[in-house]
Amino acid sequence: MTAAVSSTEGMCASLTDRFEYRRQIAQLVEHLTRDSGGPGSNPGLVYNYASLAFTLKLLEANNQLKYLKKEVADSCEN
């Protein structure tokens, strides 16, 4: 029971970190996009940051998939 509670707490902390990370990326992209129309703006920079944010989300999803596969494999062994 203690291991299950500990595991759940760890997953909740991990989810909280992920949501904070996503929120920060969204704020950065929104800030860059909002400011991209003024004098001296650099639309290419906005595109690069948006591409980077998308790539990071893909990497995060891939890591989560690996984690889920491991969880399934571990639960099947037990």
The pLDDT tens digits of the residues spanning 16-27 come to 666 777 777 777
Where does the pLDDT of residue 10 fall: very low under 50, low under 70, confident under 90, or very high at 90 and above? low
Q: For residues 46 and 32, is the Cβ–Cβ distance under 8 A?
A: yes
Residue with tokens 């990497």: 59
User: What global pTM score does this model have?
Assistant: 0.40
Calpha distance 14→22 (Å, rounded): 12
Q: For residues 41 and 35, is the Cβ–Cβ distance under 8 A?
A: yes
List pLDDT tens digits, range 27-60.
776 776 665 565 566 677 777 777 787 788 888 8
HSE, side-chain direction, 13 A CA sphere, residue 7: 5
